[in-house]
Amino acid sequence: MLSGKHLIAGQWVAGDATFLSSPATGEALAFAVGSPAHVDAAVKGAEAAFPSYAALSREKRAAFLEKIADEIEARGAEITAIGTSETGLPAGRLEGERGRTTGQLRLFASHIRKGDYLDRRTDAAQPDRKPAARPELRMMQRPIGPVAVFGASNFPLAFSTAGGDTASALAAGCPVVVKGHSAHPGTGEIVAQAVDAAIKALGLHPGVFSLVQGGRRDVGEALVKHPLIRAVGFTGSLGGGRALFDLCAQRPEPIPFFGELGSVNPMFLLPHAVATRGAAIAAGWSGSLTMGAGQFCTNPGIAVVVDGPEAQAFIAAAKAAVAQVGAQTMLTDGIAQAYRQGRDRIAAGTGVQAVLTSVCDMRQATPYLFEVSGADFLANHALAEEVFGPLGLIVLVRDLAEMAAVAAAMAGQLTTTLHLDPEDYGVAQTLMPVLERRAGRVLINGFPTGVEVVDAQVHGGPYPASTNFGATSVGTMAIRRWLRPVAYQNFPVELLPVDLR
C-alpha cells in the first residue's frame, strides 16, 4: 500500500503540499512534496544514527544489506506493477533491474565480510631507533558520516532508492538520505518500505535511512548544503549535476560530490574489422543504441569510421537495422522533450546529413541516424554532446590520423570502444594511450550497454562523465567514496577500532 509520504528517520511523514505522478500508463497518484524542513529532519536523524551504525560489526551490516534485499524481493510484484506504470519500462526490464539491485546489496554484504576494503596497515614501533624512536602506526578506512543520494530517472531501482550509491554507503557504515526522483515516486516508496522493514527487523537506529520525495530545486540544494552531510552521490543531467557540484564546493566546509553527468561513449571502428564484418558491427550497434529507447548512460551515441566503400556499407547496414526499431515510451515527458531538442541540435549542425529520420512526439521516441565528416565534427563541439535517447551519429574521418584527432578531441567518457581484428592491432596501440585518458572503461569488440556489477568494474571517468575520475558508482570499489583513512598512533589495543586490533 502506498502512503504518498516521506520516510524520515523511521516515521512516514506528510507534507504541506502534494504533487501528482506522471505515469506512462494508469492512474496518476498523489505524493507529498519535500521541503528543506523535511531534509533537515532527515539529515539530523542520519547524524544521530551515525555513531551506532558506524560502530556496527561488519557481519551485522552485511546482514542488514541482505535483509534489505530479501524485503525488496518480497515486494517484487508490487515493484514491477508500479514501476511499469510509472516509467513505461517493460516488466522484464524491471524484474531484471530488481535482480541487479538485490544482487548489488548482497555483493556488498560479501565484500565487507572479507574486510579487504578496510586497507588495514600497521608499522611497528621502533623504540631503539636513533636519533629518535619511531611510534607504532596503524591505519584503516573509516566511514565519513551521513551521505546524500539523488535517485536517477532512468534506473528506478538500480540507481535510485536502494541502488548502488545507497548500498555502498550503507556497506561503508554511513547513514543515507535519499532525494527521490519524481519520475517514479511510487517505486521509490515501496523500496523505502523494504529498507524500513529491514531496519525495524534488525533493531537499528531509524535514522540510518530516509527518503524525501519530490520537491523543487530548493530541496536538492538544502540537502547538499546541509552542514551534517559529508558527501553526495548523483546520477543525472550535466546541468543539474554541475549546479549541485558547485554548491558542494562553495560550502563553508566543501564536501565531495560524486556525480555521473553525461557521456556519448564513442566507438572507433578500425579498417580491417569494418571490411570483414561491418554489417555485424552495425547490427550490434543498432541493438545497443536503441535498447531501452536509448536511455542508458552507456548508450554508444557516436561511431567513428574511415570513409570509403566499407564505411558506406556499414552505414547502409546500420540504417537497415535501426529502421526495424519502432517507437518506444520514454521515462518522462521531460526526457522525451529533451530528446527531440537534442535531435534538432544535431540535425542543425554544419555538414550533418540525415541517414535515417522518423517522427516522434509526446512521450514516444523513434530512432535517428546522422552522419558528418571528421572535419565538421571537430569544428563543432556541440556534436559531441550527449543526446539521451536512440540517436546515433556516424563520424566519417579521412584517415587514421583524423580518427586519432577525433579521439583526442573527445571529452571525458564513461566508456570508449574499439572494434578491431588482429590486423588492426598496430592502429589500436596508437589509439590506446588516448582512449585510456578519456574513459573509465575501454571495450574491445563489444557494446557498452550492460554494466557488470563486479569487483573490477569502473563506471566513471574524466569530467563530464563524472565529477571524480578516481571513483566508480558500480562495483565494489564504489565503497571507497564513503570512506576516509585514519591513522592511530601509539594506541592501546583496547581503544582501537575492533577491525584494527
Coil, strand or helix at 306: strand
What one-letter code names the amino acid at 326?
Answer: G
What one-letter code names the amino acid at 346?
Answer: I
Max Cα–Cα distance, the chain, nearest Å: 81
Selected catalytic residue, list 97, 189, 260, 310: 260
Selected catalytic residue, list 297, 310, 386, 402: 297
Note if 360 is an active site residue. no
Burial degree of 92 (CB within 10 A; 0-12, 13-18, 19+): exposed
Nearest 10 degrees: CA dihedral of 229, 235, 238, 243?
A: -10
DSSP 34-71: P-HHHHHHHHHHHHHHHHHHHTS-HHHHHHHHHHHHHH
Helices (H) and strands (E) counted in the chain, each on its own, are: 14, 21
DSSP 116-146: GGG--EEE--BTT-SSSPBPPEEEEEEE-S-
Note if 260 is an active site residue. yes
What one-letter code names the amino acid at 126?
Answer: Q
Cα separation, 390 vs 226, in Å, equals 38
Cα separation, 406 vs 304, in Å, equals 8
CB 364 within 8 A of CB 330: yes
Per-residue cell: 214: 519530490
Cα separation, 239 vs 371, in Å, equals 27
CA triple 444-445-448, angle to 5 deg: 80
Per-residue cell: 6: 516521506
So which residues are the catalytic ones? 260, 297
